[in-house]
Amino acid sequence: MKLFYLLLLAAFLSVTITGCFDFEASSKSDHATDGLSDDYEDFGRVIWQKPDQVIGLFSDLSEKTIADIGAGTGFFSKRLANSAKKVIAIDIDERFIYFLDSIRINVLSEEVKNKLEPRLAKMDDPLLKAGETDAVLIVNTFMYMNDRANYLKKVRESLTPNGEILIVDFKEAWTPVGPPVDIRLPLKKATTYLEDAGFEIIKKDKKLLEYQYAILARKKE
């Protein structure tokens, strides 16, 4: 059964994926997500993305609810479900939600599948309830958001006191994978957005990942 869904995954990726969480749609460029479709098809992503080490940047997730914003095919969501109490896998593309639900039902173990909740959201709203999450992960997605400031404020409202947010995005330099350099968001600018939205920076990391930076922040009260 798992082999069948792996084959289904490959077919799905080759036909439907046009990028990560494309908040920009085509407002900036018709090719805003060029290079990102390959990231999903390339099974070497686990090497350069280092998902376990990225997840390890959070404090203990065992009793926490985490939202994976821009979940796509569940690259991080499935892994988070092994360590968190609950995972809300958020995307704005309904195809990903159906796919995630299929994976949840047919591939994940009984223990893990009950932890994963795929959720369709809006381009400008993650549709999270106040205090619903203890942590939020945004990977390969933040650069595409149109109104980052207001979006982060909504994310902040969803977090419990001292809740954490981790943003991972591409460095402002050419890399073998990823979107065009001219649409990438500099680390300094991403940090400013977080601080302005009411977050305290815990860690900025440009060394963990070769192609990307990571910013871990905490909700300030």
pLDDT at residue 88, rounded to an integer: 98
pLDDT at residue 221, rounded to an integer: 84
Helix (H) or strand (E) holding 184: none
pLDDT at residue 44, rounded to an integer: 85
**Regions of the chain with pLDDT less than 50:** 1-41
pLDDT at residue 194, rounded to an integer: 98
Which residues are 219's β-sheet partners? 199
Which residues are 215's β-sheet partners? 167, 204
* Structural domain that includes position 120: 2-219
pLDDT at residue 32, rounded to an integer: 35
Helix (H) or strand (E) holding 14: helix 2-16
Cβ(142)–Cβ(169) below 8 Å? yes
Alpha-carbon distance 117 to 129, whole Å?
14
pLDDT at residue 60, rounded to an integer: 97
pLDDT at residue 74, rounded to an integer: 94
Cβ(139)–Cβ(208) below 8 Å? no
* Phi-psi label, residue 209: left if phi above 0, alpha if psi -120 to 50, beta otherwise: beta
CATH number of residue 113's parent domain = 3.40.50.150
Alpha-carbon distance 104 to 115, whole Å?
9
Instruction: Please tell me the total count of domains within the chain.
Output: 1
41: helix, strand or coil:
helix
pLDDT at residue 185, rounded to an integer: 97
Q: What are phi and psi of 166, to 5 degrees?
A: -125, 120
